Amino acid sequence: MGEESRREESERGPQMKYFLYARKSTDEDDKQLLSIEAQLEELREHAAREKLEVVREFVEKRTAKEPGRPVFNDMIRRVEKGEADALLAWHPDRLARNSVDGGRVIWLVDTGKLMALKFPSFWFENTPQGKFMLSIAFGQSKYYVDNLSENVQRGLRQKLRMGVYPGRAPIGYANEPRLRTIVIDEATAPLVKKLFETYASGETSYQAISDMANRMGLLTCRSHSIRKSWMRCLLSNPFYIGMMRYKGELYEGKHEPLVSRDLFERVQKMLNQRGRTQERPREGDPCFFTGMIKCGSCGSGVTAQRQKGHHYYNCTRHHGPCELKKYIREESLSLEIHAALSYRTLPGEVADWILAQVDQWQAEEAHRSEGLATQHAARVDDIQTRLNRLLDVYLEGTVDKEEYTARKEAFIREKASLSADLAQIRTNGAGWIEPLRAFVTDCKEMGSDLAEADAEELARFAKKSVLNLNIVKPIRGRKDGKPVAIGGRTPADLTCARLPPGGPEPEGRGGGLAARPAQVRTRTDPVPQAFSEGATFDPSADPAQIAASFGAEGCPSAFVFQVSEREPALRVEYPAPLNAVAAFSALSPAQKQDRTIWWALLELNQ
């Protein structure tokens, strides 16, 4: 009897109070523009035709895939309070596309708080069969959303495999809607590249580079001004070198890189440095050596101030109390930097000889380029085969997602690096030839200009020569007792120092590099062939064999030469200035591109 009574009440629709509910799945005005208006028009006409009393209209622009819609929750609370006892919507999927909200609607029908549900496109009656059909409609709605989500994700994965980024292009690029791809934005790309080049110089901070971007008029994808935290995301985004990171995974992109891999890696090195000093430009009264000096006692940065017409440098004590209490005048500091830089210059005749050697290396590299290109191309194909096999193993469930992601990223990085090297080989041959030629030319020019250089020019030379200066305690025997600056950055994979013939390993000295405590093998057998100008050497040969081919009995100098921390140091005897060229021949291709190693080898000539 109670069920028949409910059916009769359901048929007396006009006596019930209805809430009208209209919803579209996005809050963006340019999508589903007519959806809400069309629903409201149809529902109002249906209410008038069926003589339904609508007491309130609810409009929501939010997806029903997940629970938590504020307008829907407000409507349900009002139903529970008794403000209405029936709902009017276009279809059950407008009310719910998830099991939580669908279950709430059915529960309100079960408890009698909802007496009727009206849909122009779906028939519902308050009976067990009607509620069963309603639950099926809600289930179909959820299935549609889940299936649509899976289809979308599958499409996104396919786009990523094809090298197309499935989202908004980062600043410097633009989405091309007609081709559905990403192209370089000619207006902003040069500005973004300028940001990378400026930060790679090491002369600016996050805040300064962010201010620079804002002055350029650059905006984020959402048209916001650029903040310091956002700038790190830009500078570390692999998208700018032709790769894409999406949901933690790295993919190859087919878009054109905006910056070179070398520039990007230099920026990452700067980003990862900790505790380095930042140069702060001073207007009107520049202190040229700030930003390039650290305290040799505590490791803090060094600041400067002007007193009595002179600039004085002292420790900032950023890391706490410091033993270095005294100041050093800029004039004294200039003398020390001048002395350190003097080890990093080349006389004209030596530079010309090395440049001739560089020309010879370039000719040799041209012959090797074709073979290297073939090897790199074969390696790239092999990595692609490994990636395909790794994907098959992952789909079979043999490896978990974490291991798959890690191995995939390693393969992609190696492939991208090889592809970049391959492009470099096909375009310019050995990538280290031209930078080395420019390096030697700079050393030659610095040798001629150093004598007349002022503080500003000395600072510029020091930055270019990767000179790393520390202010240390006074040297014993110095009459004025003032602290002095010494330095010279020691590369991780090459250590060298001048040794007297047959003598012990020396201590580090100003402007030089300290030899490592290592096993030293000394050549004792006579060398049948002395070093001759213009000789060439196989870079892949054993360093010991290369070392043994240089020098002659009674040579005036000896050096410790170490190309790897895992290998014992070699005590090599041969005359300067040809030693640096000989040592350079023994380096690997990667080491040949390290400017820090070039400076270390250059000091062998002094």
Q: Which DSSP string do the residues of 15-57 spell out, in sequence order?
A: GSEEEEEEEES---TTSSTTHHHHHHHHHHHHHHHHT-EEEEE
Average pLDDT over residues 175-191: 86
442-467 pLDDT per residue, tens? 777 777 777 777 777 777 777 666 55
Q: Six-digit token pair at 85?
A: 């006892």
Q: Is residue 217 domain-shared with residue 105, that is, in the same domain?
A: no
Identity of the highest mean pLDDT range in 160-169, 478-487, 576-585: 160-169
Establish if 292 belongs to a structural domain. Answer: no
In this structure, the answer to whether residues 14 and 131 fall within a common structural domain is: yes
Domain residues for the domain of 249 are 173-272
Q: Which long-range contacts (CB under 8 A, 24 or more apart) does 537-545 make?
A: 537/582, 537/585, 537/586, 538/585, 539/585, 539/586, 539/587, 539/588, 539/589, 539/592, 541/586, 543/567, 543/570, 543/586, 544/570
Amino acid identity for residue 70 in this structure: P
The answer on 11 and 96 residing in a single domain is yes
For 22, phi then psi, to 5°, come to -125, 140
Over the chain, what is the mean pLDDT? 70
58 located within any domain: yes
pLDDT tens figures, 332-362: 777 777 777 776 677 777 778 778 877 877 7
For 7, 15, 87, 114, the CA distances from 127, given in Å and listed in that order, are 8, 19, 16, 12
C-alpha closest to that of 333 among 318, 311, 301, 316: 311
Residue listed under structure tokens 């207007």: 283
Residue 312: its pLDDT value, please? 81
CB-based burial, 120-150: b 16+ in 10 Å, e otherwise: bebebbbeeebbebbbebbeebbeebeeeee
User: 361 and 396: one domain?
Assistant: yes
Whether 485 is in a domain gets the answer no
The 3-state DSSP class for residue 475 equals coil
CATH number of the domain bearing residue 70: 3.40.50.1390
Amino acid letter at 548?
A
The predicted structure's pLDDT at residue 84? 93
* Residues 425 and 512 placed together within one structural domain of the fold: no
The CB density around residue 487, as the number of other CB atoms within 10 Å, is 24
CA distances from 480 to 332, 334, 483, 484 (A): 11, 16, 9, 11
Distances (CA, A) of 519 to 168, 289, 516, 569: 57, 38, 9, 6
Q: Which of 368, 331, 262, 347 is nearest to 580 (CA)?
A: 347
Residue 451, in any domain of the structure: no
Residue pair 536/585 in contact (Cβ under 8 Å)? The answer is yes
> With bands split at pLDDT 50, 70 and 90, how would you rate the model's confidence at 320?
confident
Looking at the domain assignment, is residue 250 inside a domain? yes
User: Which carries the bigger pLDDT value, residue 329 or residue 285?
Assistant: 329
Distance from C-alpha of 421 to C-alpha of 372, rounded to nearest angstrom? 10
89 and 34 within one domain: yes
Radius of gyration (Cα) for the chain, nearest Å?
36
- Residue that terminates a domain, selected from 364, 396, 431: 431
Percent of the chain with pLDDT over 70: 65
Residues 185, 170: contact at Cβ < 8 Å?
no
77, 94 contact by CB (below 8 A)? no
pLDDT tens, residue by residue, 559-604? 333 333 433 333 333 333 444 555 565 555 555 555 555 555 555 4
Cα-Cα-Cα-Cα dihedral sign, residues 124, 130, 131, 136: negative
Between these two residues, 129 and 395, which has the higher pLDDT value?
Answer: 129
* pLDDT tens digits, 42-85: 999 999 998 999 999 999 988 888 888 999 999 999 999 999 99
Query: Per-residue pLDDT for 29 more than 70?
Result: no
User: In the chain, how many domains are there?
Assistant: 4
Q: Is 584 within 8 Å of 603 (Cβ atoms)?
A: no
Residue recorded with tokens 């420790």: 315
Co-location of 47 and 83 in the same domain: yes
Distance CA(9)–CA(515), nearest Å, equals 98
DSSP string, 180-227: TEEEE-TTTHHHHHHHHHHHHTT---HHHHHHHHHHHT---TTSPPP-
Cα separation, 323 vs 296, in Å, equals 10
Q: Do residue 358 and residue 261 come from a single domain?
A: no
Q: How far apart are CA 374 and CA 10, in angstroms?
A: 80
427/496 same-domain check: no
Tell me what the mean pLDDT of segment 491-507 comes to: 32
**How far apart are alpha carbons 467 and 292 in whole angstroms?**
8
Indicate the residue among 90, 125, 156 that finishes a domain: 156
H-run or E-run covering 249: strand 249-252
Which contiguous run of DSSP H or E holds residue 311? strand 310-315
Residue 151 confidence (pLDDT): 80
pLDDT of res. 582:
53
Cα(429)–Cα(139) distance, rounded to whole angstroms?
A: 63
Judge if 152 and 179 occupy the same domain: no
Report if residue 327 sits inside a domain. no
Please identify, among 251, 272, 293, the residue that sits at the C-terminal boundary of a domain.
272
pLDDT band at 517 (very low <50, low <70, confident <90, very high): very low
| Residues whose CB falls within 8 Å of the CB of residue 465, separated by 6 or more in sequence, listed in order | 341, 344, 446, 599
409 pLDDT higher than 50: yes
The answer to whether residues 25 and 62 touch, using CB atoms and an 8 Å cutoff, is yes
Q: Are residues 116 and 185 both part of a single domain?
A: no
- Kindly state whether residues 147 and 193 are assigned to the same domain: no
What CATH number did the domain enclosing 237 receive? 3.90.1750.20
CA 602 to CA 154: how far, in whole Å? 56
Confirm whether 93 is domain-assigned. yes
Report whether pLDDT(331) > 90: no
Residue 291 lies in a domain: no
For the chain, the residue count is 606
